[in-house]
Structure 1
C-alpha cells in the first residue's frame, strides 16, 4: 500500500469517526421530564447548590449538563444548550440586589425553559415559567417564608408538568425543596458536610414526592 493510500485511508477513518461523534451529539432523543431518579436528582441538585455558593461556575455547568443528560435523556447537544442557559441565568442573577436588576436573568431563563419544553408532557408557556422561577429566586433572597416561595416553586413545577398546583405531591415537592434551601441559607458560612448530607436527604424526599405525582 502506498503512503498516499495510507494517508487517505487514515483521513477517511478520522472523518467517519468525527461524523459518528457529531451524529451522536445532535440526533434527537426521546427526552422526558418524568424519567428522573429521585435519589440521583437530589445528589446532583445538592452538588449544584454547592457549586453556586462557591462560585464554581464550570462545575455548576457540568452538573447541570449531567442532570439534563442522564436524568431527562436529552441529546448531548441539547443538554449543552440547556446547561448553558441555566448556568448563565444563575450567574447573571447572583450579583443582583433588586428585582429590576434580577430581570436581566429573564432572557436566559426563557431560553432554558424553551429548550426544556420538548420533554414536557404538555406544552407550556416558557415566559410564564421563567417569570415564576425568577419570582421565587427573588423571594428567597428577600428572606420570604419558605412555605410561601415553596408554593411558587410548586406553580412552576405544575406548569411544566401540566398538573394542578394544588396537587398534594407537587405542593409537597415545592415546600420541601424551599425548606431545604432555607436550611442552607440559615447555616450560611458555618455549613458543614453533615449539613449538606441533610440537605441531600431532604431533597431526596422532595423528589420522591414529585416522582409519585408525575413519574412514569
Structure 2
C-alpha cells in the first residue's frame, strides 16, 4: 500500500491553521498577563470558594501537587477574579511563598524569609482589585497566621482565629470585629482538618464533608461582612 504524499499546496491550509491558532493563543496570553484588569474582592461565590479550599486541603494531604496547583489557580479566579493565565502566575507566587515558609523551619526569625514572597504575591493581588490595601501589612499578617497555625504547641486555635480576623481586616480595610465569626469558623475548619488527618486511616469522606460545611459557613460570614452597608 502506497502512502500518498501531500503537495505543498495541499499542506498549506493546515500550516496556516496551526499558525493562526498559535498566534491567537499568544495574543490571549499576552492580553491576559499584561492588560490591566480590576474587579472587587468583595464579589465572590462563598460556596465555591469554600469547595475549592476543601479540595485544596484534601489534595495537599493526599500528596497530589499537580491537582493542588490547578485548584489553587481556580480558587484565585473565583476569589480575586484573576484572568485565566494570570491565575497560574499568582498560584506560582503563592506556592513559592508557602515552600519558602515550609523550608524555613520553626524559628520565627527564619519564617520571615517568606515575607518578600508574600509581599510579591499580594502586590499582584492589588493589581487586580479596585479596593486599595496596605500590601506589606497584609503580607505580614498573612505570615503571622501561618506561624500561629504551624506552632500549635505554642498557640491555640483561638489565637489562629484572631490572626485570621486581623489579616482579613487589613485586606478589606474594615474593623477587625467585622470578621470575628469568619475567623472562628475558618480556624475551626483548620482544627478539624488537623485532627482528622491524624486519626488511623486518615480523613473519611464524612470528615471532609464536615470540614467543607464549616468552610462554607466561614466564607458566607465573610461575604456578608464585606457587602456595602455592613
Both proteins in one fold, TM over 0.5:
yes
Gaps of at least 5 residues in structure 2 are: 1-7
* CA distance in 1: counterparts of 2:115 and 2:62, whole angstroms: 23
Name the TM-score, length of structure 2 as normaliser: 0.82
Residue number in structure 1 paired with 2:12: 6
Question: How far off its partner does 1:19 sit?
Answer: 4.2
2:168 to 148, 157, 171: 157
Question: How far off its partner does 1:52 sit?
Answer: 2.7
The 1:102/1:50 distance shift into structure 2, 3 A limit, reads: farther
The 1:211/1:14 distance shift into structure 2, 3 A limit, reads: closer
1:182 to 184, 191, 195: 191
1:88-107 equivalence runs, <5 A: 88-95=96-103, 96-107=105-116
* CA distance in 1: counterparts of 2:11 and 2:71, whole angstroms: 44
The 1:77/1:10 distance shift into structure 2, 3 A limit, reads: closer
Question: How far off its partner does 1:204 sit?
Answer: 0.2
1:102-117 equivalence runs, <5 A: 102-117=111-126
Report the count of equivalent residues.
214
Matched, 1:79 2:68: no
Question: How far off its partner does 1:141 sit?
Answer: 1.7
Residue number in structure 1 paired with 2:205: 193
Conservation of the 8 A alpha-carbon contact between 1:150 and 1:178: yes
| SS class of match (1:35) | coil
Q: Name the one with the larger helix percent.
A: 1
The 1:211/1:11 distance shift into structure 2, 3 A limit, reads: closer
1:135 to 115, 123, 144: 144
Structure 1 vs Structure 2 CA RMSD: 2.5
Conservation of the 8 A alpha-carbon contact between 1:64 and 1:83: yes
* CA distance in 2: counterparts of 1:202 and 1:117, whole angstroms: 28
Larger Rg computed on CA atoms: 2
Conservation of the 8 A alpha-carbon contact between 1:121 and 1:161: no
The 1:34/1:13 distance shift into structure 2, 3 A limit, reads: same
Conservation of the 8 A alpha-carbon contact between 2:38 and 2:129: no
1:17 to 16, 24, 31: 24
Name the TM-score, length of structure 1 as normaliser: 0.86
* CA distance in 2: counterparts of 1:90 and 1:17, whole angstroms: 34
* Runs of 4 or more consecutive aligned structure 1 residues displaced over 4 Å after TM superposition: 7-12
